[in-house]
Structure 1
Amino acid sequence: MDQIFGSVGVQGRVHARCVDCAGEFGWGADEPVVLSSVVKVPLVLEFARQVAAGQLDATDRVRATAATRLGGVGTAGCLDDVEYSLRDAARFALTISDNTAADLLFDRVGVENVRSLVRELGLTRTRIVGSLRDILYRMAADIGARDLHEFARRYPESSDAEVFGSSAVDPLRTTASTAREMTSLLAAIATDRAAGPEVCGWVRDLMRQQVFGNRLPSGFPPGTDIWSKTGTMPGIRNEIGVVGYPDGSRCAVAVFTVSQLLAGRQPAVDRAIGEAARTAVERIVHSCPRAARRESVTTGPPPHPTDVAAQPDSASRERGPDGTRRHPASR
């Protein structure tokens, strides 16, 4: 792991576990890490649980307006108002990492209910400080901006020291967890322990449709069944997911990285996340029969680097082509 992460200039935290036995592998797995948009997984899980319990109607409508748009992909960056159902908000949050859709869900689901969910699942080191908007407000306060409009104007001129000093990228001051706890969450979703089969299956299906394939999936052969979620903030690139094989075995893996570079496109780091994920899964010592019979977790070489680089970039593009820092909306 030292070589994988050191070769691209990042610090990495990794955990992988077999979903069906006690086999696991960790690298800094209990160190605190910034979740960024990975928090959308427990958010959507709690939404689906509330729908199943009859507490929310999945077809209720929400409206993304200028006041709720946070910047970034999807409806978060639309120029005009957009209306959609709560279940579509959940879809946008997991498949394209739409920050505004996620925030509208937080408004309906309740931040405290998401906190209760992670406590119920035994994720004692997972902390949710608030919605995505709350985190942006913290970033604004960190650079002395009075509101998000002033923050959007001032952020492009902020120094690297101001960005890296922000509470939003400090795992001790923002929404955070550990790599081990995130694979525990994934395993609970994979085995329908986090909720009923219909709820967990729906969350898995949404994560399987995520459009960003240049991080964790880059380490595995085409056709491998992967459902996952990325997370990106300035200097932060993450992904968690479950990798499934034809023999039916499944491995949950979480990779979190921290860099001192603010470049938006970092394909080498993205590929390193995939390589670290594959390496971690390969190092699991299994006790379940199906996985133990598997000589290797890979059935062929991973995609060629040029193929990976050509895929859509999952970064938040902190800096544009002209070197100007962009809005730090996470993905």
Structure 2
Amino acid sequence: MTEERIRHVFAGAGAEGQLHAIPVLARTRAAGKGGTEPFPREVAAGADDPVVIASIFKVLLVLEFARQVAAGQLDPRERVRVTAADRLGGWGTAGCLDDVELSLRDLAHFTMSVSDNSAADVLLARVGLDTVRLLAKELGLDRTRIVGGPRELLESMLAEVGARDEREFAVRYPALPDDRKRRLAVLDPRHTTASTPREITRLLRLIWTDAAGPPEACALVRDLMGRQVFRHRLVSGFPDDVTVAAKTGTLPGLHMEAGVVRYPDGECFAVAVFARTHDLTASRPTVDAAIGEAAGIAVGFLRGGGR
């Protein structure tokens, strides 16, 4: 019934949704004759079907950065320059009008807090794409595939549309028929950076239990996820006293967020929610609200012991 409620929420927003939610730590409750029994272990709706993860891949990127810092391979204070050639448009350094100099640590901050695509690309070049891929395998994320950073995805979109730059893309893309837009490789989990909702919650659980690397590396990722400025998806599904550390991802027709919600009593739940809309508008407040509502339903079921 919980999964049916979740599907109904997405249908009401004109979308199809996939979700996986788990407690960060296993939980038990008192049972008859002085014994214990487990609480529900998960809520799953399409949890093993592949999904495009877009900017959620930045969690793995920043985790690899944090692990290299903890191992002494990188100095987080190392200065780098983000130039006009690095700009992709959008938030943070990606939208700056002038060159910016900052530390690797601040690149990680912008990558997570405002989903800065230029910062993510520069950081990825420093830590290495292959090491991020190897990290996914090390953590048992066997169905997670990273094809590249934001620039590779943008260049893929430009090439498919036949645009020389973002300005030309902004003219050509709206004129395409919807069926042509839906065939873009970046919207197809078979051809782009992808995973499953279950693997994303596994990643979050590993980070929150210090099992994804040295404790100081996991702590840095948790801290940076807690700084995300976007509060319109998962956060909307929970009371004000519940904290959410998360990472969003957005592409035309695709809306997603994965994170950990923490209650005042210390209970934590990892949630990954992915929504695909029937139209391809980039901004859909009703879908964003549905992501929060679906997450709230799932976590409420887990927290309430399945009642």
How high is the TM-score relative to the length of structure 1?
0.83
Show the 5 A alignment for 1:64-213.
64-146=82-164, 150-151=168-169, 154-213=172-231
Q: Note closer, same or farther for the CA distance 1:185–1:142 as it changes in structure 2 (3 Å cut).
A: same
Which residue pairs with 1:48 in the alignment? 66
Query: How many Å apart are 1:163 and its aligned residue?
Result: 2.4
2:282 alignment partner AA: G
Question: Superposition pairs for residues 244-259 of structure 1, below 5 Å?
Answer: 244-259=262-277
Correspondence 1:5 to 2:10: yes
Which residue of 2 is the match for residue 265 of structure 1? 283
Identity score, percent: 55
Once the two structures are superposed, what CA deviation does each residue of 1:69-111 show, in whole Å capped at 9, x if it has no partner?
1111111111211111111000001001100000111110111
Secondary structure of residue in 1 paired with 2:85: coil
Task: Give me the whole-angstrom Cα distance separating, in 2, the residues matched to 1:158 and 1:63.
Answer: 37
Give secondary structure in 2 for the equivalent of 1:15: strand
Moved over 6 A (4+): none
Aligned-partner residue type, residue 183 of structure 2: G
Would the aligned equivalents of 1:232 and 1:238 in 2 still touch at CA under 8 Å?
yes
What SS does structure 2 have at the residue aligned with 1:13? Answer: strand
Residue 9 of structure 2 contacts residue 290 of structure 2 at CA under 8 Å; is this kept in 1? yes
Higher helix share: 2
- Hey, what's the Cα distance between the residues in 1 that align with 2:93 and 2:177? 28
Equivalent position of 2:23 in the other structure: 18
Q: CA deviation at 1:141?
A: 1.5
What is the CA-CA distance between 1:151 and the residue it aligns to?
Answer: 3.9
Give the drift of 1:260. Answer: 2.4
Cα deviation, residue 187, structure 1 = 0.1
Are the equivalent residues in 2 in contact too, given 1:11–1:258 (CA < 8 A)? yes
Shift of 1:245: 1.5
Q: Is the 8 A contact 2:63 2:217 kept in 1?
A: yes
Q: Which amino acid aligns with 1:275?
A: E
Aligned length, in residue pairs: 289
* 8 Å Cα contact 1:70/1:99 also seen in 2: yes
Does structure 1 retain, via aligned residues, the 8 Å contact 2:241–2:263? no
- In structure 2, the gaps of 5 or more residues are 1-5, 28-40
- Cα displacement (A) at 1:125: 0.5
Tell me the amino acid that sits aligned with residue 60 of structure 1.
Answer: E
The answer as to whether partners of 2:237 and 2:295 remain within 8 angstroms in 1 is: yes
Q: Does structure 2 retain, via aligned residues, the 8 Å contact 1:137–1:148?
A: no
Aligned AA (1:6): A
State the shift of 1:157 in Å. 4.1
Alpha-carbon distance in 1 for matches of 2:57, 2:215 = 21
User: One-letter code of the match for 1:261?
Assistant: D
Distance 2:218 2:137 in 1: 18
Q: Which runs of 5+ in 1 are unaligned?
A: 285-290, 298-331
CA distance in 2, matches of 1:123, 1:166: 25
Deviation at 1:247, TM superposition (A): 2.1
CA contact (8 A) 1:4 1:275 kept: yes
CA distance in 2, matches of 1:124, 1:35: 15
Distance 2:292 2:199 in 1: 19
Residue 295 of structure 1 deviates from its aligned partner by: 6.9
Q: Is the 8 A contact 1:143 1:162 kept in 2?
A: no
Q: TM-score, normalised by structure 2?
A: 0.89
SS state of the match for residue 86, structure 2?
coil
